[in-house]
Structure 1
Amino acid sequence: MILFYRLTLCLVMLAPGILHAAQKSKNAKPNVIIIYTDDQGAIDLNCFGAKDLVTPNMDKLVGSGVKFTQFYGAPICSPSRAGLLTGKTPQRAGVGGNVSSMSDEAGMPTEQYTIAEMFKDAGYKTAQIGKWHLGQGKDKQPNAQGFDYSFGHLVGCIDNYSHFFYWEGPNRHDLYRNGEEVFYPGEYFPDLMVKEASAFFEENQSEPFFMYYAMNTPHYPYQGYPKWLEYYQDKGVEYPRDLYAAFVSTMDEEVGKLIAKLKELGLLENTIIVLQADNGYSTEERAHHGGGSAGVYRGSKFSLFEGGIRVPAAISWPGHLKEGEVRGQIAVNADWMPTLAEMCGIDLDTSDLDGKSLMPIIDNSKAESNHNAFCWKFGNSWAARNGDWKLLGHPFVNGEKFSAQDSLFLVNLVNDPGEQTNLAKQYPEKVKELEEQYAVWLTNNSTGKKEITDSDE
């Protein structure tokens, strides 16, 4: 009888561990979270070169995996998000410019196969938390694009306390859960995002999940925690950098809360986390004409100079990827879809994608870039890159005027990372070569065909 009681006691004591082991076995596939920040400068994390910011949580996240120093999004919000979610160029994803807030017809076409649909087809629970900006019509919303659960705002930005969109047309409330309007007046939107994400983690911790965590920070309106604003003002940081910096440190704090929740639930070691900004920092009036920094890189949001499209990016998976690794190969946000498919063992047809798996580069710092040749287009401006050379057509930087002779602007990014000197006259053959590359790209993207790059030929 004594032996029976001892055995019973042992089983009771072991039960939590047995259940946890069974849970981990059931959830053998890794979870995936993409943290997408908004209008963040190219160097605006300490680990990417900033000297005046407090960003310990994102610095730790980047340091726990692989950091990319030549990573590209798009020059504005909607195209960048479309490229991320489809694995294609924004043009082929059907979103060449920002999606209008005034039309239910505008947005990413539902026939596009998204990364959320990829994970859902592979048995994952999927969630979108935060900013959408890819269509507000019912057929364009997150739940119609592969997400089981969604919470956030549908258009470009909101006030973080009232959750109203103030910047185009009549003022209107913009906060939805699974397509139904919800109201949390006075509650801080970044905190609401953490709360919603945490609940999703708790409810789905026994099965694999994919979360697209699209932050509304540090996009205007700059509404960081008062303690951070006081901190930067006490440090003598000048306006508008003080407002922007306070919002970045607030964002860092929110990312820290998200990661802490994963750790609390025992999920962190089995979770792949991607961190990336969508485009460069804003110089719009509503962003106080600046505050962010691209360091030596010229340009900002809306520009195809490096400051508009080169963004902070990293991937972490504790125990699976080496820590503190740095990669300088050219990479783009369309690469995440095939990369994550490979990492998670998902069979994905990549024949119609422009993105390519980054795993060879992640595994080997000396691997060749997937995109030795690449092109971008926004409005009348375009850019073609091949190796170290980059040609800009009709370049744009807010507040700068370009002469007719600079309508074609050639740079060598190794010798001139700030893109200050136009070499078009000195290297006419290189100009011709890159013009031809862009012409082919434009034709293919206009007809919806897969982009042709050197690595495809």
Structure 2
Amino acid sequence: MNRRDFLKQITAVSLSYAAINISGCSASLSRSSGRKPNVIYILTDDQGTIDMNCYGAKDLYTPNMDKLASEGSRFTQFYAASPICSPSRAAFLSGKTPQAAGMPGNAPSSKGNAGMPSSTVTISEVMKSAGYKTAHIGKWHLGYSEDTMPNAQGFDYSFGHMGGCIDNYSHFFYWYGPNRHDLHENREEVFLDGEYFPDLMTEKALEYINENSGDPFFLYFAFNLPHYPVQPAPKWRDYYKNLPEQRRDYAAFVSTIDERIGILIDEIERLGLKNDTIFVLQSDHGHSTEERCGWGGGSAGIHRGAKFSLFEGGIKVPAIISWPGKLPRNQVINQPAFEVDWLPTIADLCGIRHEIRELDGKSLKGMLKDPHSPNQHEHYVWQIGEQWAVRKGDWKLIGNAWDTSSKETLDDKIEPIFLVNLSEDPEEKTNLADKKPQKVNELISIYKNWKYANPEFIRR
């Protein structure tokens, strides 16, 4: 049976699987071999803060995401480095803020345009230097020039699209003209017209895992969904047919993701690599409320904000790490953690030394062993356009705050200074700036002292 037939056989499994209790899944036959662990980092695109069952969603079916959580650690205060795509991805790959990584805004989606500088050291380069095989599969959106595409940024193998999104069947980027085809395998453009991109991703990942099962590998598996265009697998749209239209199509896209994550998990277990593989899963930022996705079907739960916003709904994301037999199971970590932390954490868990200068991330290894360990970041700073934010302890200050969630009880005007104590007001409903001027000044001072601060963005 070839890989394509194998994939089709797996994805044809009946939805009766929904009745299976995933907590009873059998353990892997793998035993620790002393080898360095594989790492599979899964990034979803525009997935809302609570849009997994294990994060509180009551109307979604996400057994495979939930399985990773039950076999590992789930973060309740995990923050993306940006509320838009490219800067978030750059922060993961570099372990630095988007500004330090050279990617403060979205990369162009046209061929020949550069993105994240080739001088930025990536986690793939770190892993490769330690003997790892490295692969990127899926969305890139960090540069479309020869020296900023994946093969020039530390990836031995790459399959996917270079721009911000594609149609999942034609593989064309068509948000503004001229329409252009965008599907590449390594440095070559490939044409697979009519084939469903999430299935192509999964097929390429299965092939890669099997070809490299004897060596430690790092696989960056970057979905372009539930980002628009909203094109879920038809069986999932039918599964959610009784939900309102916006939520129905979005939910179907989330389960399309989940099913393919399950295929990767199953293959790792089939190969006896379960205890030798670290899975990391997160969303790149909050859900979209853009017109192109029907004004959005995702959810941030109680939180204000969505994609493009530095309110919690734009940057607080689901995040999970699992390494059976090596890290605690079914653990919930309530301490703040940040996307920039993955590079030093993964390197630490894999026993890899690196010498990246001015790394913004901190290893979470201690927190994974003891979830009550203190957060190693004294404070953290975000900036996107003229919006900026500082978090220190439970306090968060947003400059030029913009709410893209359109919650009925909240206005969406831009406020120059917005102060909140997240432990007391997680919904970010009440601006305390006028009542707490000393705290405002303290957090503004942190922003002013940040290397990439722009004094013109401080308005009061």
Unmatched 5+ stretches in structure 1: 1-19, 448-457
* Aligned partner letter, 1:54: Y
Tell me which residue corresponds to 1:365: 371
Q: How does 1:287-306 map to 2 (within 5 A)?
A: 287-306=293-312
Contact 1:76 1:98 in 2 (8 A): yes
**2:48 equivalent to 1:41:** yes
**Matches of 2:362 and 2:276 in 1, distance apart?**
23
Tell me which residue corresponds to 1:134: 142
For residue 423 of structure 1, the aligned residue among 416, 432, 435 is: 432
**SS of match in other structure, 2:235:** helix
Tell me which residue corresponds to 2:11: none
Contact 1:131 1:155 in 2 (8 A): yes
Deviation at 1:143, TM superposition (A): 0.2
Deviation at 1:425, TM superposition (A): 0.6
For residue 376 of structure 1, the aligned residue among 382, 400, 407 is: 382
Between 1:102-111 and 1:395-404, the stretch displaced more is: 395-404
**Matches of 1:153 and 1:271 in 2, distance apart?**
26
Matched residue count: 421
**Matches of 1:228 and 1:205 in 2, distance apart?**
31
**2:118 equivalent to 1:110:** yes
Tell me which residue corresponds to 2:87: 79
Q: Given the two structures, how large is their TM-score scaled by the length of structure 1?
A: 0.89
**Matches of 2:202 and 2:356 in 1, distance apart?**
33
**Matches of 2:75 and 2:151 in 1, distance apart?**
31
Q: Using a 3 Å threshold, how does the CA distance of structure 1 residues 106 and 397 change in structure 2: closer, same or farther? A: farther
Tell me which residue corresponds to 1:16: none
Tell me which residue corresponds to 1:338: 344
**SS of match in other structure, 2:136:** strand
Tell me which residue corresponds to 1:5: none
**SS of match in other structure, 1:411:** strand
**Matches of 2:86 and 2:429 in 1, distance apart?**
28
Q: Given the two structures, how large is their TM-score scaled by the length of structure 2?
A: 0.89
Tell me which residue corresponds to 1:392: 398
Tell me which residue corresponds to 2:273: 267
**Matches of 2:374 and 2:32 in 1, distance apart?**
36
Q: How does 1:154-303 map to 2 (within 5 A)?
A: 154-233=162-241, 236-303=242-309
* Aligned partner letter, 2:422: L
For residue 335 of structure 2, the aligned residue among 315, 329, 332 is: 329
Tell me which residue corresponds to 1:412: 421
Contact 1:330 1:370 in 2 (8 A): no
Tell me which residue corresponds to 2:447: 438
Runs of 4 or more consecutive aligned structure 1 residues displaced over 2 Å after TM superposition = 102-106, 398-404
* Aligned partner letter, 2:372: K
**What root-mean-square deviation, in Å, do the aligned CA atoms of Structure 1 and Structure 2 show?**
1.7
**SS of match in other structure, 2:391:** strand
Tell me which residue corresponds to 1:3: none
**Matches of 1:237 and 1:24 in 2, distance apart?**
44
Contact 1:342 1:357 in 2 (8 A): yes
* Aligned partner letter, 1:185: D
For residue 147 of structure 1, the aligned residue among 121, 140, 155 is: 155
Q: Using a 3 Å threshold, how does the CA distance of structure 1 residues 205 and 379 change in structure 2: closer, same or farther? A: same
**SS of match in other structure, 2:101:** coil
1:227-264 Cα distance to aligned partner (Å, 9 max, x none): 2111211xx31120111001001110011111111112
Deviation at 1:49, TM superposition (A): 1.1
**SS of match in other structure, 2:103:** coil
* Aligned partner letter, 2:335: Q
Unmatched 5+ stretches in structure 2: 1-28, 455-460
Tell me which residue corresponds to 2:73: 66
**SS of match in other structure, 1:436:** helix
**SS of match in other structure, 1:159:** coil
**Matches of 2:420 and 2:216 in 1, distance apart?**
45
**Matches of 1:96 and 1:253 in 2, distance apart?**
33
* Aligned partner letter, 1:298: R
1:108-159 Cα distance to aligned partner (Å, 9 max, x none): 0000110000000000000000000000001100000000000000000111
Contact 2:110 2:144 in 1 (8 A): no
Contact 1:91 1:446 in 2 (8 A): no
1:343-368 Cα distance to aligned partner (Å, 9 max, x none): 11101225520000001111112110
Computing the radius of gyration from Cα coordinates, the structure with the larger value is: 1
Between 1:65-74 and 1:393-402, the stretch displaced more is: 393-402
1:295-325 Cα distance to aligned partner (Å, 9 max, x none): 0110100000000000000100011111100
**SS of match in other structure, 1:91:** helix
1:373-432 Cα distance to aligned partner (Å, 9 max, x none): 11100111111111111111111123586667x310111101110101001111011111
**Matches of 2:65 and 2:367 in 1, distance apart?**
22
1:37-60 Cα distance to aligned partner (Å, 9 max, x none): 000000000001111100011111
Tell me which residue corresponds to 1:451: none
For residue 132 of structure 2, the aligned residue among 124, 128, 132 is: 124
* Aligned partner letter, 2:147: D
Tell me which residue corresponds to 2:19: none
Identity in percent: 57
* Aligned partner letter, 1:139: D
**2:18 equivalent to 1:32:** no
**Matches of 1:232 and 1:198 in 2, distance apart?**
28
